[in-house]
């Protein structure tokens, strides 16, 4: 159940995540290319256990090294979302509530990343499930 919930948070609730760049400005071309090459793994991960979740987080962090400044804050917010989701303890309502609250705060970031990818990379990552409509 935990794996399925994590998968839903990672894929259904909001899409992407990453971390900050070492160099100012990122690399939009490389960022788009890495997302394109890893699109299936990013949008439909096969999460069987904790190791799979950690590997997926590492992939997002690696791709995030190239996040352009225009989308970096949103990318960072998504990293926090996925890291928080990975800490859910089965049967622990408190950890579940923290993950849900973080996912809700990340909805707008997910919508912005999706739009940025469409506008700048011509990549459609598919629908982003959100509770509140995003414009």
Q: What percentage of the chain reaches a pLDDT higher than 70?
A: 78
Mean pLDDT of 19-45: 81
Residue 51, domain member (yes or no): yes
Residue 101, domain member (yes or no): yes
Residue 22, domain member (yes or no): yes
Residue 26, domain member (yes or no): yes
Count: domains in the chain:
1
* Cα 106 from Cα 123, distance rounded (Å): 20
Mean pLDDT of 34-50: 92
Query: For residue 34, is it left (φ>0), alpha (ψ between -120 and 50) or beta?
Result: alpha
Q: Token pair 């509140």 is at which residue?
A: 132
Residue 133, domain member (yes or no): no
Q: Taking a C-beta distance cutoff of 8 angstroms, is the pair 32, 120 a contact?
A: yes
Query: Percent helix, strand and coil across the chain, each rounded to 5?
Result: 60, 0, 40
Residue 135, domain member (yes or no): no
Residue 52, domain member (yes or no): yes
Q: Residue 78 class from Cβ within 10 Å (0-12 exposed, 13-18 middle, 19+ buried)?
A: buried
pLDDT at res. 8: 42
Residue 130, domain member (yes or no): no
pLDDT at res. 4: 41
pLDDT at 16 over 90: no
Q: Token pair 């990552």 is at which residue?
A: 125
pLDDT at res. 83: 94
pLDDT at 7 over 60: no
pLDDT at res. 126: 85
Q: What percentage of the chain reaches a pLDDT higher than 90?
A: 64
More confident residue, 63 or 9: 63
Q: Taking a C-beta distance cutoff of 8 angstroms, is the pair 117, 35 a contact?
A: yes
Residue ranges making up the domain that contains 18 = 2-121
More confident residue, 19 or 109: 109
pLDDT at res. 14: 40
């Amino acid at each position: 159940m935990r794996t399925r919930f994590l998968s839903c948070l990672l894929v259904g609730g909001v899409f992407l995540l990453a971390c900050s760049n070492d160099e100012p400005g990122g690399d939009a071309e490389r960022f788009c290319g890495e997302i394109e090459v890893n699109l299936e793994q990013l949008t439909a991960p096969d999460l069987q256990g904790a190791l799979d979740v950690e590997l997926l987080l590492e992939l997002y962090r690696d791709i995030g090294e190239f996040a352009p400044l225009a989308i970096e804050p949103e990318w960072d917010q998504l990293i926090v979302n996925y890291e928080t989701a990975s800490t859910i303890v089965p049967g622990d309502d408190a950890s579940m509530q923290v993950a849900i609250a973080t996912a809700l705060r990340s909805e707008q970031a997910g919508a912005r990343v999706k739009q940025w990818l469409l506008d700048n990379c011509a990549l459609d990552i598919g629908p982003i499930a959100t509770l509140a409509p995003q414009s």
